[in-house]
Amino acid sequence: MQPYLRSRINDFAIKLANVNGTGSASANGLLMQAVFRMGLPVSGKNLFPSNIQGLPTWYEIRVNKDGYTARALDYDLMVAMNAQTYARDIREVTSGGYLLYDSSWPLEPSLRRDDVHLLPIPLAQLCNEKFTDSRQRILLKNIAYAGALIAFLNIDMPIVEVLLDERFSGKAALRDLNHQALHIGYEYAREHFPCPLPFHLEPMNENEDKILIDGNTAAALGCLYAGATVAAWYPITPATSLMDAFRDLCSKYRRDPETGSNNFVILQAEDELAAIGMVVGASWNGARAFTSTAGPGISLMNELLGLAYYSEIPAVVFDVQRVGPSTGMPTRTQQADLMECAYASHGDTKHIVLFPANPAECFEFAVKSFDLAERFQTPVIVLSDLDIGMNDWVVPRLTWDDSYRPDRGRVLSKQDLERLPAFYRYTGEDPQHVAARTLPGIHRTGAYVTRGSGHNKFGEYTETPAEYQEVMDRLARKHKAAAAFVPLPKVRSHPEAQFGVITIGGCDPAVEEALDLLEDRGVYAGYMRICGFPFHKTVEEFLYSHDRCFIIEQNRDAQLRSLLTLETCVPKTRLRSILAYSGFPLSARHVIDGILAELESDSAIHR
């Protein structure tokens, strides 16, 4: 048996292999939250199947005192609760690591590894002795292994007890059962194994001003705070929880306490064609409206995104990306909708797209998206992904400025219209090339027919070449002007940079970690994370200030790189791709290996 060589405090990763639909999510979430409350930097990645019950599901928890919370690929401890996946789960344990398994049944000798320590606990047997209800036995078995992990990892038991109290407040019987199960595992571990393991937790104080939240909830909160009143959607993984959260928030904050009436309308549409149609209709009328969807929904929404673009109607769309093409892998993460969103719809169309990197930015960019959509009278797509949207992230507490008022853009009031002899929809552009709009129900002078067919600047139907082109040219100028208003790229330049590294969205933690590790090896890079499209001018400046740039993204076809080659003048040859698109969140190792391989091939050429 290999000894566990490193005694690491607050720096390890564990992986829990479960069968989905058995209640493991609750136990795993409990552990994650307990670690968070101990004040430690932590992340949890749920790698789940597109299924309700019976298929393999994994949960990974990484603790890192230095704050690196991207996905780890080496697991110091594997909790193997799924016989279907024992073989591959055991393979993933780091040499000298540990394997906790349910020893109610013997472990197949062929599955043993000499360099892995075994932690056999007869969880099923212990729970069967203690609990009578068969469904409860399955659920509580998970809580029992959580109990064992509390002992093994030195998780603070009083914190877990408080969490149980909070979760089961008003359900004393259930709380009691969970408490018992927790202690079954805890006591067994303490009696049979040396606790804690060489790697374990010590309390820190990193989370005072932090919260543990998923991106979909944070985005919904942003929509609430931005004053969105109409939401339309069609159920789709991984975007569904965004609208679920919005509904919950509205029930809490948008219901008149006296009359019980709702200051919101949520429409579950018949399909995504309708969902975006409802958003366009509501926005046309002047409401802040949005939809949430994933790639397949964006495909369907292309048609009306073009209508909204051409007729200049605001619309906010959240695309929580999953793995494509087609149905793809609905419960896996990817960044492969970039090109589709940037130029959604037929004809010459281009959109404003925002790239949040974590739940805090989902909140911030959600608010921003409504302001931009109304300021520029055009669709804004917020491009999140499954990893950001559905996993819990530790982020700084969200803040709000009470002086915020929505930027409604150029909308003529009744008084404005009373003073006007006549109104023409697409005339009188401002410096951003936006013309004033009117809303129905205000004044008949403002009336016009909104149309997706050819129109001139007066809003009238046209097939006259010059009139058509005049409007299209202004739309192009308007899109360009939006570049100065999208969130600025986050740039960290390095005085000795040998190359530049560019990424978007949820790749951020893995890339940041990789760059630090490379720096330890004497490899220096400038770093830019792009936050919006059209590209702010600093994007092109960054590209030109580095001879080579590595573009790290989670899709096969290097879509961010394509977008950069299309929308900037930088030579294509200076932009290299490092791609990871198999469906799991990016880890620092992908980035380091990718960059080192590129550097090596460059030096081989120069030799």
| Residue 184 touching another protein (CB under 8 A) | no
Q: Work out which of 404, 418, 571, 600 binds another protein, going by CB under 8 A.
A: 404
Q: How far is the CB of 278 from another protein (least distance, A)?
A: 3
Window of 97-105, 132-140, 249-257, 379-387 that interacts with another protein by CB under 8 A: 249-257
Q: How far is the CB of 259 from another protein (least distance, A)?
A: 8
Q: Work out which of 191, 256, 258, 520 binds another protein, going by CB under 8 A.
A: 256
Q: How far is the CB of 295 from another protein (least distance, A)?
A: 20
Whose CA is closest to 362, among 321, 405, 403? 321
Whose CA is closest to 592, among 34, 30, 68, 231? 68
Q: Work out which of 103, 124, 136, 225 binds another protein, going by CB under 8 A.
A: 225
Binding mask 466-485 for another protein (x = CB under 8 A): -x------------------
Window of 116-124, 190-198, 252-260, 554-562 that interacts with another protein by CB under 8 A: 252-260
| Residue 461 touching another protein (CB under 8 A) | yes
Looking at the Cβ atoms of 452 and 487, the one nearer to another protein is: 452
Distance CA(136)–CA(304), nearest Å, equals 49
| Residue 427 touching another protein (CB under 8 A) | no
Distance CA(277)–CA(271), nearest Å, equals 10
Looking at the Cβ atoms of 77 and 305, the one nearer to another protein is: 305
Q: Cα torsion at 17, 20, 22, 25 (round to 10°)?
A: 70
| Residue 204 touching another protein (CB under 8 A) | no
Residue ranges in 290-319 that form contacts with another protein under rule CB under 8 A: 303-304, 307
Pairing status of strand 379-385 against strand 117-121? unpaired
Return the structure tokens found at 400.
């709000």
Window of 374-382, 460-468, 536-544, 569-577 that interacts with another protein by CB under 8 A: 460-468
Q: What residues are paired with 4 via a beta bridge?
A: none
From the CA atom positions of the chain, what is the Rg in Å? Answer: 27
Looking at the Cβ atoms of 144 and 223, the one nearer to another protein is: 223
The size of the interface with another protein (CB under 8 A), counted in residues, is 78
Contact 398, 209 (CB under 8 A): no
Contact 107, 101 (CB under 8 A): yes
Q: How far is the CB of 224 from another protein (least distance, A)?
A: 7
DSSP state of 141: H
Measured from the Cβ of residue 462, the count of other Cβ atoms closer than 10 Å reads 18
Q: Which residues contact 90 (CB under 8 A, 6 or more apart)?
A: 78, 80, 99, 111, 112, 113, 116
Q: Work out which of 456, 559, 565, 577 binds another protein, going by CB under 8 A.
A: 456
Strand, helix or coil for residue 401? coil
Measured from the Cβ of residue 112, the count of other Cβ atoms closer than 10 Å reads 11
Strand, helix or coil for residue 46? strand
Looking at the Cβ atoms of 244 and 540, the one nearer to another protein is: 244
Distance CA(550)–CA(499), nearest Å, equals 8
| Residue 203 touching another protein (CB under 8 A) | no
Q: How far is the CB of 494 from another protein (least distance, A)?
A: 35
Taking every pair of Cα atoms in the chain, the longest distance, rounded to a whole number of angstroms, is: 90
Residue ranges in 257-296 that form contacts with another protein under rule CB under 8 A: 259-267, 269-271, 273-275, 277-287, 289
Q: How far is the CB of 176 from another protein (least distance, A)?
A: 23
